């Protein structure tokens, strides 16, 4: 059954435009309260990132939850994975995150975690949507929910992150630059990495409500690369606005993406006998990572793009590690969701264990050139059902053999067909990508 409001990662949009409005968030809080309230002492956690609209939506959600008789524990600015962790350890009925992740400040969104710290099942989201289409009612005057702030939320999460690497590891000789994207990790990440012993230089940690993800963080790691070189640091850590993405920079200023980081963690787990199940990537995962894992004897499974789908395959195949090249990295042997800080700590642990630099560790995997061309369409079209397009795809796949890959997919949000080709030779891949894009245009009359 199609959901009316929930997408693959909660509800998201531009602030002030439906559904990201104060009145909708009031009703969403009430609907969630109706679904989750079982006993008079039940409560949900509500946390947010640093965008200015978070104040408004925090208040609206609190009012709606209170009207439904649900208690609210407010966390203030807190990384999304931190909210997932606290939802689980504080035994909350659910966790609610006010964030648009890596998007600009003028967007915002809502996502939920279950009491286990995982994404909500579809049936619960359907139940919330059922109440969203009903008129708001208020519990009797003796039964409204109560709200309070959790003052030690940041400290609890900092200790949890530190505990995901052995306390015996010594990071005292490691110099880091951390870019917090002016987001929810600004008051947490610097403490985590300095408390495990590293020398920390922090950038992107002065949020003002509108500078979140603004030319900084995991989506724009160039500023971090410059800072790493300027400070002659061993590595750089770029997080996004809500702390669930990680991109790193090595001592040479070279960007290390999610695929390379997942490979490093997978090899580390394998070397110490802790790797179980396959690694789960997505349709966009680099073929070089697949071939690198194959050489280690580790299977790669590909999910649809989106960490929700990565998680589904991990659970289905009993895997512990997965993610996306954008920097969503899920270490299920350490936590329940994608976590940029925890993923960075795992990479740092491998640097200490092996004595190798981040540059050396990432060089063990050969990334293949990957060229993406977007073809605009007048309406959404499924390229898989077009015979002439598929004939051209098969011809290119035959020429590439096992050393390349072709991917065509319709955008989920725009009238576009994304043409992606990867292989060992960049010039060949580029030529094939533009050739196939031209054939797609011809076939659809673009």
Which residues have a catalytic role annotated? 101
Cβ atoms 391, 340 nearer than 8 A: no
Nearest-angstrom CA–CA distance, 395 and 379 = 26
Q: Measured on CA atoms in the order 215, 190, 226, 237, is the torsion positive or negative? A: negative
**Is residue 149 within a helix (H) or strand (E), and if so which, with residue range?**
strand 147-149
Closest CA to 259 of 275, 282, 226: 282
CA distances for 238 relative to 8, 20, 214, angstroms: 24, 28, 13
Nearest-angstrom CA–CA distance, 300 and 214 = 34
End-to-end CA distance of the chain: 32
Q: What is the largest CA-CA distance in the chain?
A: 73
394 DSSP 8-state letter: H
CA angle 109, 115, 117 (to 5 degrees): 65
Burial of 231 per CB tally in 10 Å (0-12, 13-18, 19+): middle
Cβ atoms 373, 419 nearer than 8 A: yes
DSSP 113-138: EETTSSBPPHHHHHHHHHHHTS----
Closest CA to 42 of 123, 143, 135: 143
Nearest-angstrom CA–CA distance, 242 and 54 = 12
CA distances for 300 relative to 23, 30, 282, 401, angstroms: 44, 42, 9, 18
Burial of 217 per CB tally in 10 Å (0-12, 13-18, 19+): buried
SS3 218: coil
């Amino acid at each position: 059954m199609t959901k009316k409001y929930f997408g693959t990662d909660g509800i998201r949009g531009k602030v002030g435009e439906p559904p990201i409005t104060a009145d909708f968030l009031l009703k969403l809080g009430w609907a969630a309260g109706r679904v989750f309230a079982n006993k008079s002492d039940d409560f949900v956690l509500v946390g947010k990132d640093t965008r200015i609209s978070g104040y408004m939506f925090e208040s609206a959600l609190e009012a709606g939850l209170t009207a439904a008789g649900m208690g609210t524990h407010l966390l203030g600015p807190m990384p999304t994975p931190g909210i997932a962790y606290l939802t689980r350890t504080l035994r909350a009925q659910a966790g609610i995150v006010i964030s648009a992740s890596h998007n600009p400040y003028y967007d915002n969104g809502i996502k939920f975690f279950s009491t286990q710290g995982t994404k909500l099942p579809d049936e619960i989201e359907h139940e919330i949507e059922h109440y969203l289409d009903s008129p708001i009612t208020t519990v009797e005057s003796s039964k409204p929910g109560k709200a309070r702030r959790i003052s030690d939320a940041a400290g609890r999460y900092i200790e949890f992150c530190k505990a995901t690497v052995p306390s015996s590891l010594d990071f005292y000789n490691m110099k880091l630059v951390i870019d917090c994207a002016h987001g929810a990790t600004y008051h947490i990440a610097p403490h985590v990495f300095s408390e495990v012993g590293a020398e920390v230089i922090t950038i992107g940690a002065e949020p003002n409500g509108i500078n979140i993800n603004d030319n900084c963080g995991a989506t724009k790691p160039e500023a971090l690369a410059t800072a790493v070189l300027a400070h002659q640091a061993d590595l750089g850590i770029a997080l996004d606005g809500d702390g669930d993405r990680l991109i790193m920079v090595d001592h040479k200023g070279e960007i290390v993406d999610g695929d390379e980081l997942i490979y490093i963690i997978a090899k580390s787990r394998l070397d110490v006998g802790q790797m179980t199940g396959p690694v789960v990537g997505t349709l966009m995962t680099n073929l070089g990572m697949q071939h690198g894992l194959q050489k280690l004897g580790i299977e790669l499974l590909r999910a649809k793009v989106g960490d929700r789908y990565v998680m589904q395959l991990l659970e289905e195949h009993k895997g512990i590690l997965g993610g996306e090249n954008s920097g969503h990295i899920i270490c299920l042997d350490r936590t329940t969701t994608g976590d940029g800080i925890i993923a960075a700590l795992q990479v740092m642990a491998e640097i200490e264990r092996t004595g190798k630099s981040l540059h050396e560790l990432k060089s063990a995997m050969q990334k293949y050139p990957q060229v993406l061309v977007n073809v605009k369409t007048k309406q959404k079209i499924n390229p898989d059902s077009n015979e002439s397009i598929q004939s051209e795809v098969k011809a290119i796949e035959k020429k590439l053999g096992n050393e390349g890959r072709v991917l065509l997919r319709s955008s989920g949000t725009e009238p576009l067909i994304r043409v992606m080709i990867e292989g060992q030779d960049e010039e060949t891949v580029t030529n094939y990508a533009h050739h196939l894009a031209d054939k797609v245009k011809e076939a659809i009359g673009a």
